[in-house]
Amino acid sequence: MKKIMKLAFCLLIGALFLTGCGKDAKRGADKDALIVAQGADAKTLDPHATNDQPSSAVAIQIYNTLVEQDPDMKIIPSLAESWTQPDDTTTVFNLRRGVKFHNGEELKSSDVKFTLDRAMASPQVNFIVEVISEVETPDDYTVVVKTKQPFGALLNHLAHSAMSILSEKAVREAGEKYGQNPVGTGPYKFVSWQSGDRITLKANPDYFEGKPAVENVIFRNIPENQSRAIALETGEVDICYGIDVIDKERIKGNKDLVYLEGPSLSMTYIGFNVQKKPLDDVRIRQAVCYAIDADAIIEAVWKGAATKANSIIGPNVFGYNKDARLWTRDVEKAKALLAAAGYPDGFQVKIWLNDNQQRRDMAVIMQDQLKEAGIDMTIEMVEWAAFLDGTARGDHEMYVLGWVTVTGDADYGIYPLLHSSQHGGAGNRSFYTNPAVDELLDQAKGETDQEKRKALYAQVQDANQEQVPIFPVCYGYSSVGLRKNVKGFVLRATSHYKLYGITLENTK
């Protein structure tokens, strides 16, 4: 505890010192750029090679999708200026003409077909478009998407950042290095990537909606929440994603800053690798759930900026089941289940975390809670890219992660986390397999009656809360801090923030 207090004191003194240095002095050569701080570096800028939030945060500045969602989650045109649905399994998209990729090539329907075919072949993101059976290109500006069955959430899925439209020429030329050399049609062009530190983008003068007002954008990787907040306060960065609750009031009280907070589509969860003993026994997983006091964790870590979860999707997502089981702490039941499963003296288990302060704090509290039931949990910190790769392979036992249902629909919120076809990097890092759940999810995907879809998804949520391959802890809020001169930033429930339209005032 003394070490923690000493560290906090040093950081505070450092912050006061840096504040006195002045914004331009601290930023140096970056003073004419919009600098955005997030808690992890991108893994890759190939939208088909990953589905993590830090990568998406950068990618959505570089690319466009056929359609997109506005801040109210309504589908609006993007690269497709219009579309029609002549029948339940066919959607015809009419592309904008004259749109240029960053390499100078004009967007054609062949690029869209190449993109969707490539996405369908990707183990990381194919679940988003696996319902597509065929993509046709009758001419350079028309794309016909056919699905295997009626699928009401198709447009929501095509608005996902993983469905960003790629230049076929650029992908083929770059080969395996494409993820470090992305080419899109978006408002910003990729310039450089200093791994672990920053990604630099430059305004696209040929952007079809007009050149961005801000010439340069830099994404900084600052894992420590408090360090990010200090960087915002001192003017080292202009936008800070993921404000920690301990920094919230201080930022709100700073006349040079703006604090934004609102409901999100995110869910923080504890995952169990159900292929590892003894976690393959549902009684063991339930014992862990009974030993956890989620209310105490939320109060200590989120301090009112989250609500307790009873499902892997939240109230703002279509298909949410408000009646799904809400776990409450009962240490005696936890001990009884451990004894029934053959572990009367408890067991040892290791939990993986990436470098995220809230998740670390959560795990430390959880560690003490589990001890009361006889469960000895070791915390292991794993670097972000290694965390994603390791949990995709199944190297872990338990882990903490988040999921954002960016489409606003239960298919995306549940299918990748629980369907047996999605083991690993696609989302099912618990390696959970349940034929009955698979069947329910498959039925819901093809059901056009929305009430029937809700009923099917309700059953799946009930199954998860009983078998708990995933233990949902809470639904967090989106929180962003801005310098006061940043104008035009829009908070989104998806936490995918588009920087096009932002202006910087009084930067000189």
* Per-residue pLDDT at 18: 40
Compute the average pLDDT of residues 367-389: 96
Every domain range in the chain assigned CATH 3.90.76.10 = 62-172
The tens digit of pLDDT for each residue in 447-496 reads 888 899 999 999 999 999 999 999 999 998 889 999 999 999 999 988 89
pLDDT band of 3, cuts 50, 70, 90? very low
What is the enclosing helix (H) or strand (E) of 189? strand 188-194
3-state SS track over 334-359: HHHHHHHCCCCCCEEEEEEECCCHHH
User: In this model, does residue 5 exceed pLDDT 70?
Assistant: no
Which CATH number applies to 266-476? 3.10.105.10
pLDDT band of 21, cuts 50, 70, 90? very low
* Per-residue pLDDT at 2: 41
Handedness of CA 127, 130, 132, 137 (dihedral sign): positive
Q: Within 13 Å, how many C-alpha atoms sit on residue 66's CB side?
A: 25
CA distances from 48 to 84, 121, 127, 199 (A): 26, 9, 11, 19
The tens digit of pLDDT for each residue in 290-336 reads 999 999 999 999 887 899 999 999 999 999 999 999 999 999 999 99
To the question of domain 2-46+182-263+481-504 being in CATH 3.40.50.300, the answer is no
pLDDT band of 410, cuts 50, 70, 90? very high
Compute the average pLDDT of residues 111-137: 95
User: In this model, does residue 391 exceed pLDDT 60?
Assistant: yes
The tens digit of pLDDT for each residue in 165-174 reads 999 999 999 9
Instruction: Compute φ and ψ for 268, nearest 5 degrees.
Output: -100, 135
pLDDT band of 246, cuts 50, 70, 90? confident
Lowest mean pLDDT among 102-111, 234-243, 349-358: 349-358
> Residue 263, Cβ neighbours under 10 Å: how many?
15
The string of DSSP letters for 56-119 reads HHHHHHH---SEEE-TTS-EEESSEEEEEEEETTEEEEEEPSS-B-TTSPBP-HHHHHHHHHHH
* Per-residue pLDDT at 358: 85
Max distance between CA atoms of the chain, in angstroms, equals: 69
pLDDT band of 6, cuts 50, 70, 90? very low
Every domain range in the chain assigned CATH 3.10.105.10 = 266-476
Q: Which amino acid would we find at residue 346?
A: G
The CA distance from 322 to 99, in Å, is 44
Every domain range in the chain assigned CATH 3.40.190.10 = 2-46+182-263+481-504
Compute the average pLDDT of residues 204-216: 97
Say which CATH topology domain 62-172 has: Dipeptide-binding Protein; domain 1 (3.90.76)
User: In this model, does residue 507 exceed pLDDT 60?
Assistant: no
